[in-house]
A = this chain, B = another copy of it.
Amino acid sequence: MEPHKETPVVRRRARGVQRIESILNAAEAVFMEMGYDEATTNHIAARASISPGSLYQYFANKEEIVQALAARYTEELRLVYDSVSSSEAASLPLVDWINQSIDGLVMFQLAHPALLLLFSRNEPLLQFSSAVQALQEEVLTRVEGGIQRRAPHLSATQRRLSATISVHLFRSILPLLHQSNEAERDLLLHELKTALYRYLEPLLDKNMNHISGKTKGLSMVE
Number of copies: 2
Q: Which residues of B contact A104 (CB under 8 A)?
A: none
State whether A202 touches B191 (Cβ < 8 A). Answer: no
Q: Does A9 contact B (CB under 8 A)?
A: no
Say yes or no: B197 contacts A95, CB within 8 Å: no
Which residues from B are CB-within-8-Å of A201? 198, 215
- Contact call B191/A161, Cβ cutoff below 8 A: yes
Per-residue contact bits, chain A 71-113, to B (CB 8 Å; 1 contact, 0 not) = 0000000000000000000000101001100000000000001
Complex CA–CA separation, A168 to B188 (angstroms): 12
How many positions in chain A have a CB within 8 Å of any CB in the partner chain? 52
A145-178: which residues lie under 8 A (CB-CB) from chain B? 157, 161-162, 164-165, 168-169, 171-173, 175-176, 178
Option from B98, B168, B186 in Cβ contact (under 8 Å) with A172:
B168
CA distance A37 to B125 in the complex (A): 13
Q: Is the CB of B124 within 8 A of A35?
A: yes
The A163-222 residues at the B interface (CB cut-off 8 A) are 164-165, 168-169, 171-173, 175-176, 178, 186-195, 197-199, 201-202, 215, 217-218, 220-221
Further 13 A-B residue pairs, CB within 8 A, beyond A32-B124, A189-B221:
A34-B125, A35-B125, A35-B126, A37-B123, A165-B169, A165-B173, A165-B195, A186-B221, A190-B221, A193-B220, A194-B220, A197-B218, A197-B220
Write the residues of chain A forming the contact surface with B, with a CB cutoff of 8 angstroms: 32-35, 37-38, 93, 95, 98-99, 113, 116-117, 120, 122-126, 157, 161-162, 164-165, 168-169, 171-173, 175-176, 178, 186-195, 197-199, 201-202, 215, 217-218, 220-221
